[in-house]
Amino acid sequence: MLLGLLLTVAFCYLVQQTTPEKYKSQASLVIMPSAHSVGEDGNPYLNLGGMGEALDILTRRLSSEEVRKQIAADFPNATYTAETDKGTSGAILLITATSPDPNDSLGTTQAVMKTAPTLLGQMQEALNVPETSRISTMTLLVDGKATPETKARTQILLISAAGGVGLTLVLVVLVDSLLKTRATRKTRPEAPTQSQRPIKGFRPRRITARPGAIPVIGADTTARTRHAKGNPQRDGYLDQDELKPPVPSSQMPTST
């Protein structure tokens, strides 16, 4: 368990050192109404509510593949997003650029900011909108310095730590199960082999020795039936007289 935790810490440190640091910069543009719709004495900030449709079209044009290729030609290592600022109710365009180089991040933000009013003018020119009726953009704020983005690195570290701890717990459970299984096998008595199992229906007979009798190794029922003294239940034992060597036929008396 301790070894797994140490390896997890070492892996998280390696991830932190190898994960490239990224820098982020942002800028905000607001879509302003036309001079014709505001009037000479009108306040343009009171008419920002009707700019949402134009902002949606502009964000789609800025996110198109054609525009992204143009921006990437100057800043190949940078990425950006152009979307509606969801923190406000007005027609505000939020531009966010990210890059390993802080200068590229700032340069990408500036490039998208310059592209936005150009695209907005091209869209209105394609529809022959009069100059006095055309909407425009105005810069609200822009970052002068790119800031390190720590959110992505923190997420990667949390995922790595959670994965390492989870893997450690799984390995501990598996090793513990294997050790318990091995210990159970050692303490469990061995099952008798086929030759050691008793034969069904066989009942061993108890052999009782008599005084003066000598056990015969390997005696069986055939040997017992050959006893000369008329006792067929002698159970493999012979008397002393039965152990005398047999008399040769040449020395046996012959009848005349």
> Could you report the per-residue pLDDT of 82-141, keeping only the tens digit for each?
999 988 877 899 999 999 999 999 999 999 999 999 999 999 999 999 988 999 999 999
Residue partners of 95: CB distance under 8 A and separation at least 6? 26, 27, 28, 29, 80, 81, 82, 109, 112, 113, 116
Does 134 fall in a domain? yes
Tens digits of residue pLDDT in 78-90: 999 999 998 887 7
Is 102 within a domain?
yes
Q: What is the pLDDT of residue 180?
A: 77
| pTM of the predicted structure, to 2 decimals | 0.56
pLDDT digits (tens, 9 = 90+) for 28-85: 999 999 988 888 888 888 888 788 889 999 999 999 999 999 999 999 999 999 999 9
Task: Answer yes or no: is 163 within a domain.
Answer: no
Q: Which residue has the tokens 């067929």?
A: 232
Which tokens belong to 164?
């390492």
25 within some domain: yes
pLDDT higher than 50, residue 221: no
82, part of any domain: yes
**In this structure, are residues 31 and 61 in contact, taking their beta carbons and an 8 Å threshold?**
no
Domain that holds residue 73: 21-150
Please check whether residue 196 lies inside any domain of the structure. Answer: no
- Count of domains in the chain? 1
Q: Is residue 158 part of a domain?
A: no
The answer as to whether 236 is a domain residue is no
**CATH number of the domain within which 88 lies:** 3.30.70.1130
